[in-house]
Structure 1
Amino acid sequence: MPAVLPFDGCDLRYADSGGEGTPVVFTHGAGADHVMFDAQAEHLRARGYRVIVWDMRGHGLSQPAGGPFTAERALADLHALIEHLALDRPVLVGQSLGGNLGQALVQRNRRLARALIVIDSAWNTGPLSWSERMLLKTAAPMLLALPAKHLPKLMADASAVTPAARVDARRAFSQMSKKDFVQVWKAAVELVVPDPGYRTPVPLCLIRGRHDRTGNIASAMPRWARAEGVEEVVIPDAGHICPQDNPQAVNVAIETFLHTLSRQEQR
């Protein structure tokens, strides 16, 4: 991650493959970092896409955070990165919190992106049942109650199903204190604001690990796909961090969507 964007008190670290291909910006989930998308970045770079990966403030190499992590700060960071690199309507790819940020950014300004790929993420504007609202309210206190030394392993085991993905998830989660992780979780919850009549104004791809048991993703993403009139891509042998659990299948899903998008734009 050789490049740095100083912004709002934090040195945001990113890597840009450059080139004239369609720009694709990857945003990782809470507690993770850019390593999550190593396989996807390599795959798309080899096929001529301009690939950008970055670490959100307080994550990975973008430390210290320069202040409390909030949803507004994270959105401003992503917007600043797009402007800094003068990206012309990139495809936004986000896993978990990264997917929440992509949804929110497109909802605020549809002209910032040509398409949105959401991976194992909550549906920002989807309707919530009473039990789902309670789950959102109680998650942060439950996280705070966990012993800090056990949190990286617990989160890694809950996020991944393959040994290699669990090892790397534990590495990533270990870079963040429990206090900071809970603050990031609270920021993610801020982005979930039900608006059942809203529909994504750009082409949308939804990807989910078959064994993702995080929050209500397994039940809500199929409903989201039906509401948007798109086909949900379910990745076998994968959990919440399916880009690492089953990178080949995720690569195929992303590339297939990008090919379809290219054909639509050429019409």
Structure 2
Amino acid sequence: MSALDRRLDRPGAVIAFADGGGDGHPVLLLHGAGMDHTMFDAQAEALTAAGLRVLRADLRGHGESSLDEGARFSADAALGDIAALLAERRIDRAVIVGHSLGGNLAQAYAAAQPDRVSGVIVMDASWNAGPLSSVERLALRLAAPMLALVPSRRLPGMMARASAVWASAIARTEETFARMPKPVFLDVWRATVSLVAPEPAYRSPVPLGLIRGAEDRTGNIAVAMPRWADVEGVAEYVIPDAGHVVTWDAPDETSAALLGILAEDRFVAAMR
């Protein structure tokens, strides 16, 4: 039986989600591009055991969430889905934990709706407002066109090998990526890039936590996240022997880092 037992009708999509319920503070888990809610299996279990109310969802066009024929994935639509999901569950404020694209969406949602967010924890995602060098700007512009040149049959394996370190995590990542049609994945990639918009004076309006795999070599994350931590004055949790899909490369260590951030005074205060 699927862990996602609820459905939310949205313009152009149906969102599959689960609400663990309980009296704990809500924590919404948002997966990365091409992935699905299963990447957070270990973390959902750990958060639930800690007494938190865990919500999981598949982003539109991912996993068990559909995308209507003719509809295309966009960042605005995904942000609308987040707002609608929290409203449907009557949640006034939640901590949002986002991996990769999920982390970019979490940043954008907190920037737009800070009163609805009690904290953001970003895993292996680009810094939306961070500065970009000319080389990084060029890489962002060329990413989607370059991926479009990769044959569909090769793309899942290529992305998996770039995203995970351990053989088991690579295999799971490739299997998950392979479920998404290439045109949808390219739209998802473009949406991710659209959320990166340098804004030097911007600082997070809510408590911020940062986690990345030590072996993450995707994009500029390994370079940008330490700078981001320094600018925001927060600790960066670096998980050894893990790549971009840190939750599968090092599930227990990632769960411990996540719980450690949520136990920090600034998060505890914000969740009261």
TM-score by length of 1: 0.97
Deviation at 1:264, TM superposition (A): 3.3
Instruction: Kindly indicate whether residue 33 of structure 2 is the aligned counterpart of residue 33 of structure 1.
Output: no
Deviation at 1:262, TM superposition (A): 5.3
Counterpart of 2:49 in structure 1 is: 46
Q: Deviations over 1:9-49 (max 9, x none)?
A: 31100011000101100000000000000000011111211
Q: 5+ unaligned residues in a row in structure 2: which ranges? A: none
Counterpart of 1:140 in structure 2 is: 144
Which of 224, 228, 231 aligns to 1:227? It is 231
Counterpart of 1:20 in structure 2 is: 23
- 1:57–1:65 Cα contact (<8 Å) kept: no
- 1:235–1:249 Cα contact (<8 Å) kept: yes
Deviation at 1:154, TM superposition (A): 0.7
- After superposition, the Cα gap between the structure-2 partners of 1:151 and 1:201, relative to the gap in structure 1 and judged at 3 Å, is same
Question: Map of 1:241-260 to 2, 5 A cutoff?
Answer: 241-260=245-264
The amino acid that maps onto 2:187 is Q
Question: Map of 1:4-153 to 2, 5 A cutoff?
Answer: 4-65=7-68, 67-153=71-157
1:153 and 1:163 map into 2 onto residues whose CA distance is: 12
- After superposition, the Cα gap between the structure-2 partners of 1:28 and 1:135, relative to the gap in structure 1 and judged at 3 Å, is same
Deviation at 1:265, TM superposition (A): 4.7
How many aligned residue pairs are there?
267
1:163 and 1:266 map into 2 onto residues whose CA distance is: 37
Counterpart of 1:164 in structure 2 is: 168
Deviation at 1:126, TM superposition (A): 0.4
Q: 5+ unaligned residues in a row in structure 1: which ranges? A: none
Deviation at 1:179, TM superposition (A): 1.2
Deviation at 1:109, TM superposition (A): 1.5
TM-score by length of 2: 0.95
CA RMSD of aligned residues (A): 1.3
Deviating beyond 4 angstroms after TM superposition, the runs of 4 or more aligned structure 1 residues are none
The amino acid that maps onto 1:47 is A
- After superposition, the Cα gap between the structure-2 partners of 1:263 and 1:187, relative to the gap in structure 1 and judged at 3 Å, is closer
The amino acid that maps onto 1:138 is L
**Secondary structure, in 3 states, of the residue corresponding to 2:16?**
strand
**Secondary structure, in 3 states, of the residue corresponding to 1:5?**
strand
**Secondary structure, in 3 states, of the residue corresponding to 1:114?**
strand
Give percent identity, aligned residues only: 49
1:26 and 1:265 map into 2 onto residues whose CA distance is: 18
